[in-house]
Amino acid sequence: MGERSRRWVRGVRVPGMMFATGDEVEVSSDEEGFRGVWFEAKVVRSMPRADRYMVVYDHLINDDADPRPLRETVDACYVRPRSPRRRGPFGVCSPVDAWHKDGWWAGVVAAVVPAGQMRRVVKYVVCFPSTREEMEFKAADLRHHLEWFDDKWVKPGEHDVAHLAVTFPVGSRLEVSQSFGDSMYAWFIGTVEKLIWKDNLLVKYQHLQASDEGEHLREIVDVQHVRPCPPPGLGSRNFCLLQHVEVFHGDGWYNGVVSEVCSASTYIINSEHWDLEKEFPQGSVRMPHQWTNSCWVPATKNIPEHSEVLYERGTKVEVRSDEEGFRGAWYAATVVKLLSGNRFVVEYEALRTDDDSEFLKQTVDAHHIRPAPNTSVVGKFKRLEEVDAFYNDGWWIGVISKVLEGSRYMVYFKDAKEELEFGMNELRLHMDWINGQWIWTSQIELERIDMIYSDSYRTNKVLAHLDGSKLPKGGVNKQYEI
């Protein structure tokens, strides 16, 4: 402790380094979530060979268990002198630093809240355009934003917005993005009213309103959230079923999926932004594009894969259950709605709601759905043939364990480890939906087993294999054991 104090008192500047031990500085970070924030600290030691400093922070601590001031070694490029505290007043659109969470965060004044009967002091609404957050601050917690440039403090000037004027000049129209979750977004049309320090713009929205009086909403946004308006005709085309599109609805362009092609110029669009499907003319639908490197590029997820086009509204399908006790069973249903992300709303043909008021509807993804199989008429089933048995409103996979009289069969279910009796009309040949086609493997497996086992031994052998239990001893050569 004494040694540290002596170093600070000495305050000797190391050749080639700007700061000496004990100098008060501000330290920035390139860490995600803290980029551009400046934390107050003091220099503990200079390291000229590494071009770094060891600093101790004024307000940051190690952690709750160790409340001592945090020490770090940082690159010299992240260290600057303490910014002068130039206090208010602060005007709207003024760049400021706001004291928040033990650091100085760069933002822009979005509004001034005057003092009144209920408020003794003036407060300022500061927005942080990159994250689009807004917070209220007292004047004492703000300072004018300055940049440390060529070893001196400079005010933000016109040179800071020259690059913005090229793509987004004042008066130009643009689109501003708004996210509503992982897969939901919209683009709203606006006009550039002012270029603000660095990458920030003041935008006046064309359709969004700030109040019931009809005043247009204004927002200060970072350039990362905007793009120019696409040129007329970009992405205008005939769209196909299940294609991802953007549709103009009310006040902006929303992402959606074509659920029905009504005609060459009308589409039914489904979107997570609204509950019911809506009909739109072709002029209100466009193909999604991305503004990349100052060019318009078609969005990667545009035209659906072949496997995604199988299910239209009204398609008869079967849905697999993953629910405990029903896992592996397939239930007949009809597609009633197409959703984004290759998901579907289905209505079951036999399953009903808990109050038995209507047939059950459920949202499922493409991995749990398949077309309804075109079941062929079978004269009779053979022993050990793989079948689907209709039981409790669903189709369950099993194996014919015994052929009874009167077109009746005993079916063994591996997972349940039980046998049940079924009639001919309650069974169908088992097929698997693989790579867009139906595959029947039961007969192949049966012929392979026939080559290995005698008729008298085959049933016990295979059922034991399906059950996962130990095989009976004797009666077969070990080299043929499954």
**pLDDT-derived band at 412, boundaries 50, 70, 90:** very high
CA atoms within a 13 Å half-sphere pointing along the CA-CB vector of 333: 30
Range with the poorest average pLDDT among 166-175, 310-319, 328-337: 310-319
Q: Is the same domain home to 11 and 58? A: yes
**pLDDT-derived band at 346, boundaries 50, 70, 90:** very high
| Domain of residue 269, residue span | 244-298
Q: What pLDDT score does 1 carry? A: 28
Q: Which two tokens stand for residue 173?
A: 């129209």
Q: Is the same domain home to 391 and 458? A: yes
Q: Is the same domain home to 132 and 197? A: no
pLDDT exceeds 80 at position 406 = yes
Q: What percentage of the chain carries pLDDT values higher than 90?
A: 45
pLDDT exceeds 50 at position 404 = yes
Sign of the alpha-carbon torsion through 65, 69, 74, 78: positive
Q: What pLDDT score does 376 carry? A: 66
pLDDT exceeds 50 at position 469 = no
Is the omega angle on the peptide bond into residue 298 within 30 degrees of 0, that is, cis?
no
Range with the poorest average pLDDT among 120-134, 289-303, 408-422: 289-303
pLDDT exceeds 50 at position 4 = no
Q: What is the CATH number of the domain that holds 188?
A: 2.30.30.140
Task: Tell me if 349 is assigned to some domain.
Answer: yes
Task: Tell me if 87 is assigned to some domain.
Answer: no
* Burial degree of 71 (CB within 10 A; 0-12, 13-18, 19+): middle
Q: Is the same domain home to 114 and 164? A: no
Q: Is the same domain home to 408 and 463? A: yes
Task: Tell me if 473 is assigned to some domain.
Answer: no
Mean pLDDT of all residues in 348-369: 91
Q: Is the same domain home to 438 and 409? A: yes
Q: What pLDDT score does 472 carry? A: 38
pLDDT exceeds 50 at position 7 = no
Q: If you average pLDDT over each of 2-11, 124-133, 148-157, 274-283, which comes out highest?
A: 124-133
Q: What is the pTM of this model?
A: 0.61
**pLDDT-derived band at 13, boundaries 50, 70, 90:** low
Residue 97's DSSP bridge partners are 106, 143
**pLDDT-derived band at 105, boundaries 50, 70, 90:** very high
Q: What is the CATH number of the domain that holds 68?
A: 2.30.30.30
Q: Distance from first CA to last CA of the chain, Å, rounded?
A: 75
pLDDT exceeds 80 at position 306 = no
pLDDT exceeds 90 at position 190 = yes
**pLDDT-derived band at 441, boundaries 50, 70, 90:** low
Mean pLDDT of all residues in 210-238: 84
Q: What pLDDT score does 300 carry? A: 62
Q: Is the same domain home to 74 and 14? A: yes
Q: pLDDT: is 473 or 14 the higher one? A: 14
Task: Tell me if 234 is assigned to some domain.
Answer: no
Range with the poorest average pLDDT among 98-112, 212-226, 304-318, 380-394: 304-318
Q: What percentage of the chain carries pLDDT values higher than 70?
A: 82
Task: Tell me if 475 is assigned to some domain.
Answer: no
pLDDT exceeds 70 at position 87 = yes
**pLDDT-derived band at 248, boundaries 50, 70, 90:** very high
Look over the chain and give the mean of its residue pLDDT values, rounded to a whole number.
Answer: 82
**pLDDT-derived band at 176, boundaries 50, 70, 90:** very high
CA distance 328 to 369: 12
CA distance 90 to 400: 83
Q: Is the same domain home to 164 and 148? A: no
Q: What is the CATH number of the domain that holds 442?
A: 2.30.30
Q: Is the same domain home to 179 and 218? A: yes
Task: Tell me if 233 is assigned to some domain.
Answer: no
Task: Tell me if 479 is assigned to some domain.
Answer: no
Number of folded domains that form the chain: 6
The one-letter amino acid code at 86 reads R
Exposure string (b/e) for 316-339, b if CB count within 10 Å is 16 or more?
ebbbbbeeeeeeebbbbbbbbbbb
Q: Which two tokens stand for residue 414?
A: 């591996």
**Nearest CA to 286 among 233, 341, 227?**
233
**pLDDT-derived band at 470, boundaries 50, 70, 90:** very low
Q: Is the same domain home to 127 and 102? A: yes
Q: What pLDDT score does 378 carry? A: 72
Q: Is the same domain home to 397 and 444? A: yes
